[in-house]
A and B are shown apart, each in its own frame.
Chain A
Amino acid sequence: MTAPAITATTTLFDATVGAGAGWTGELPAGAHLRIVDLCGNQAVDTLFFDARDYANRYSAVDTIREQGAVYLTTGSVLLSTGLDPLATIVDDTCGRHDTLGGACAQESNAVRYGEHTRHQHACRTTFVREAMAWGRGLGKRDLTHNVNFFMNVPLTPDGGLTFADGVSAPGKHVELRAERDILVMVSNCPQLNNPCNGYDPTPVRLIGWTP
């Protein structure tokens, strides 16, 4: 699949994030971020913070309620706990993304899959590493419920919830526009125990630019 060309006046970053790795960086208001699922079916766990006030951070449940729908796609406005727009999804070749499934953790893996998975790598280990590396007071308290780009978690009217096979494919992307200065923190999910990464975590590409 050929993605539309990026018309950038300034490229802010162009990073390939390996399977199980993390990335943290700032995006100024008006800048764009494109996340490319290079190999397909790769969950990209992502947190957003108001760059001037980290406590005013992405809120999955406020975002879901205000848009009146569970899944994220083009037009979805990612809101903070203070109901401020942090970013808007402006392009999406995947179709929909999850924000209810949370991030995997060593502790939740032990609950879901058994004690033998406790020492496997997990997103929330990446997130605490990223928080420590970024510093500026960030820590576990700041790791709230995240977005899972390229992940498919269908909810049913009778109250069911499952982790289904991904709806993504190689080269699909999602693109966001920052609505204020934001901090973005990514964990490229290392989960091996469910289909969210097609049982084979792969790299993703992050491109940031100002139009």
Chain B
Amino acid sequence: MTAYAHDIAAGAAWTVRLNRHRALRLTCLDDGANVSVLMFAAADPLERLNVPDTLKAQMSACLRPPLVLMSDMGRALATLTGSSLDWHDAVTGHSTDAHLDARWGPSDYAADRNAWRRSARAGLLDELAKHGLGRRDLHATANLFTKVVPDGDERGTLAFVPGHASAGDWAELRAEQDLLVVLSSAPHPLDPNPAWAPARIRATVAAVPAPGPDDPARLFRAESGRALAATERSLA
């Protein structure tokens, strides 16, 4: 295949069909980025990313290389093969119109043209609808470039970490089967930045080798290896 690049506008939604053993690299073009990601098996969108299964199987409270992103059917959807950051959130969801209205007031196309403020939820639902999907297909998003840390107290109080991602930070996902990846570059709702400041994101897609016997994800944990093997077996 020929590699390609696409620049995702600040605060926009996008769908990418990512075939097996293609890598999607997302690079921040501005500081303070967030990319909220939904993921489906292209062959059967009833099979989708399951964050609880992904985190509990790999004993992690966040996404970081070399974690395998697992479906609700026990198969590897993608692998987070690399990143300049060691923490990507998956437990605090994404922005809705209610968040944006409360913080920045109304915005619409008539007044603001294509700079209008659109929430992650609105953008994700727009994209889902183009594929016959909708609210029933929402699941916990991977929030790339966002860090929200549990402080270890009895309630599990969470703290957003400002300044976690800067221009140039990146994350790369390798598809382990053909995927529908739906994402939004709208800011995270816990980001305290008083300004509406979504970041632009450069996406590049390129062919990469299939994970070999010594792939870091396969060796990371037995659970990671079993999820990869389950996908490989189902496509054998």
Contacts and interface: CB of A to CB of B under 8 A. Distances in A.
B57 interface: yes
A101 interface: yes
B154 interface: yes
Contacts of B226: 110-111, 114-115
Contact of A141 (B46, B96, B150): B46
Interface string B42-76: 00001000111101110111101000001011110
Nearest to A53: B135
Interface string A102-129: 1101111011101100000000100000
Nearest to B62: A159
Interface residues of B, number: 48
Nearest to A115: B226
A155 B156 contact: yes
Contacts, number: 135
A101 B155 contact: no
A79 to B, nearest CB: 10
A83 B151 CA distance: 25
B224 to A, nearest CB: 9
A65 interface: yes
Interface residues of A, number: 47
B145 interface: no
Contact of A157 (B55, B151, B230): B151
A73 interface: yes
A160 B61 contact: yes
A205 interface: no
25 contacts: A54-B136, A55-B134, A61-B140, A64-B91, A64-B158, A68-B157, A68-B158, A70-B150, A70-B158, A81-B135, A100-B52, A100-B55, A102-B53, A105-B73, A107-B72, A107-B75, A107-B230, A112-B57, A112-B223, A115-B226, A145-B140, A156-B150, A157-B152, A159-B62, A159-B64
Interface of B: 46, 50-53, 55-57, 59-62, 64, 70, 72-75, 86-87, 91-93, 96, 98, 134-141, 149-152, 154-158, 189-190, 223, 226-227, 230
